[in-house]
Amino acid sequence: MKYLSEQEIIKINRYVIHKYSPSEPVGVIHSTALNMIVETPKQNVFGKELYPGVIEKSAFIFKSIIQKHVFINGNKRTAFLALNMFLNMNGYKLNVDKVEAVSFTVKVATESLTDKEINTWIGTHTEKMI
């Protein structure tokens, strides 16, 4: 399993800010939360992975970046690109149109979706790359 580093997620955030809203400030607000987001998917509890599969790990990263509000700006955009990048790094691709991607990302930010609901949405829109 390949994992995103803190630096890679920070680079994603810088990219989305510079590309889509260059007048917004760039930076990390909660470095400890960012560290937790990077390290938690790797954890084992009593010999079992806390997040056992690619979908579960990617969902945790996606949801956490959005809900922990790690960055000054661009958290939802960063979360979506981090989700996509994590899946790609591990041999999967997200298959969703822009409208649905934006809608679901906003839903994660504004509603109390369960981990299962987020996992299901990501799993439904993900396919193994050949």
pLDDT per residue over 42-99, tens digit each?
Answer: 999 999 999 999 999 999 999 999 999 999 999 999 999 999 999 999 999 999 999 9
* CATH number of the domain enclosing 57: 1.20.120.1870
Question: Containing domain of residue 64, as a range?
Answer: 6-128
Whether 1 maps to a domain, the answer reads no
Among residues 61, 65, 79, the alpha carbon closest in space to that of 30 is found at 65
Domain-embedded: residue 86:
yes
Q: What total of structural domains would you count in the chain?
A: 1
Could you tell me the pTM of the whole model? 0.95
Average of per-residue pLDDT values in the chain: 97
